[in-house]
Amino acid sequence: MTAPLHPEMTRPDAASALDEAPDLSIVVPCLNEAEGLDAFLARMVAAAEATALSFEIVLIDDGSTDTTWSVMMSACAADRRLRAMRLSRNFGHQRALSAGLAQALGKAVLQIDADLQDPPEALTPMLDLMRATQADVVYGRRLRRAGEGWFKRASAGLFYRVLRWLSDTDIPADTGDFRLLSAVTVARLNAMPEQHRYLRGMVAWLGGKQVAYDYHRAPRAAGQTGYPLRRMMGFAADAITGFSMAPLRLCLGLAGLSVGIALGLLVYVVVSAVTGTAVRGWASLVIIFLFFQSVQLLCLGLVGEYLGRLFMEQKRRPLYIIAEQSHPRETKKAP
């Protein structure tokens, strides 16, 4: 047993629950979830109790502007199996999840959203599947996206398929951040330092035995999505640039295409010069100019996108800042 990090941890009523690593950790990132958090916790605690395993629930307040933090603190005071940490600002879903994973002590770790879109009751069948298949990862695969508009469904469907096509890593389609991980997988994930985090890609990259668990994704129980369109696009850019060099290769493809066109035009110019036909009209010239100009800008933009990410990456900043914790613990180290 390591020395307690916080006086609260030596309290007799807390000792047994806090000092031993639980069988199961449940990591829940929350942005402005005050409205629905109690309902979520009630269902999640019931689902975790049904497994008969010892468990902890790690709540991460990702810079909420509503009363999420005080709801978390009251919940932690009422149930010692709950822990909470508050990030100093909004760091985004993927980093909030990373913060929770770094703190999780369980032998298995469930990642789940706080908005009840992912059913807490799936925990038992997911654990059964993990045991039965000896899997490192059991990932939730969405069968239906109830309550999401056609635009979100269509764009998500297209995105997952384009990403699979572009990426060298086999990232399963229609999966989100609802998954059960073994402690070893969590430790490996914690050891991945990248700034632009696309966790479902990172988990896929790790390899090992990964098994799908099909489920129906429910509509949000309360509150609003933390992923408006602009953020979704940023997320997609992280995914594609993080897991594929294909866009950079596209520049080469476009260069090849424009060289081909230019050669064709050269033949035309030479032939018309020899035959004495006057080259008429500036329209064709303008079109050619615009075409090459936009190809160049596109390539420059793509290179810039990767260069910018390289720049941010080399700063090696911490991924998040923890401002407050309900009862701090030692962060588990990677093996």
Q: Which residues pair with 58 in a beta bridge?
A: 27, 83
Residue of this chain nearest to ligand UDP (CB atom): 226
Least Cβ distance, residue 113 to Mg ion (angstroms): 5
| Residue 80 DSSP symbol | T
- For the record, the structure tokens of 159 come out as 């995105």
With CB under 6 A as the contact rule, the residue among 83, 86, 93, 141 that binds ligand UDP is 93
Size of the site for ligand UDP (CB under 6 A): 16
Least Cβ distance, residue 30 to ligand UDP (angstroms): 4
With CB under 6 A as the contact rule, the residue among 4, 22, 29, 100 that binds ligand UDP is 29
Q: Is 185 in the site for Mg ion (CB under 5 A)?
A: no
Q: Is 96 in the site for ligand UDP (CB under 6 A)?
A: yes
Q: Is 57 in the site for ligand UDP (CB under 6 A)?
A: no
Q: Is 56 in the site for Mg ion (CB under 5 A)?
A: no
Least Cβ distance, residue 118 to Mg ion (angstroms): 8
Q: Is 156 in the site for ligand UDP (CB under 6 A)?
A: no
Q: Is 92 in the site for ligand UDP (CB under 6 A)?
A: yes
Q: Is 33 in the site for ligand UDP (CB under 6 A)?
A: yes
Strand 108-111 and strand 175-182: the pairing is: antiparallel
Angle between helices 229-243 and 199-206 (to 10 degrees): 30
Checking 302-305 for CB contacts under 8 A at 24+ apart, the result is 302/247, 302/248, 302/250, 302/251, 303/248, 303/251, 305/237, 305/241, 305/247
Q: Is 117 in the site for ligand UDP (CB under 6 A)?
A: yes
With CB under 5 A as the contact rule, the residue among 64, 68, 117, 175 that binds Mg ion is 117
174 touches which of Mg ion, ligand UDP, none (CB within 5 to 8 A by kind)? Answer: none
Q: How far apart are CA 121 and CA 306, in angstroms?
A: 41
Q: Is 115 in the site for Mg ion (CB under 5 A)?
A: yes
CB-side exposure of 115: number of CA atoms within 13 Å?
A: 19
Piece of 29-37, 134-142, 247-255, 265-273 that binds ligand UDP (CB under 6 A): 29-37
* C-alpha distances out from residue 116 to 7, 125, 201, Å: 34, 17, 23
Edge-to-edge strand ranges of the sheet holding 210-217: 210-217, 137-145, 175-182, 108-111, 24-30, 55-61, 82-87, 322-325
| Residue 141 DSSP symbol | E
Least Cβ distance, residue 258 to ligand UDP (angstroms): 39
33 touches which of ligand UDP, Mg ion, none (CB within 5 to 8 A by kind)? Answer: ligand UDP
Least Cβ distance, residue 92 to ligand UDP (angstroms): 5
**3-state class percentages of the chain: helix first, strand second, coil last, to nearest 5:** 50, 15, 30
Piece of 38-46, 101-109, 110-118, 277-285 that binds Mg ion (CB under 5 A): 110-118
Q: Is 226 in the site for ligand UDP (CB under 6 A)?
A: yes
Q: Is 56 in the site for ligand UDP (CB under 6 A)?
A: no
Q: How far apart are CA 108 and CA 104, in angstroms?
A: 9
The 3-state secondary structure of 231-252 reads HHHHHHHHHHHHHCCHHHHHHH
Contact residues toward Mg ion (CB under 5 A) are 113, 115, 117
Contact residues toward ligand UDP (CB under 6 A) are 29-31, 33, 62, 90, 92-93, 96, 113-115, 117, 225-227
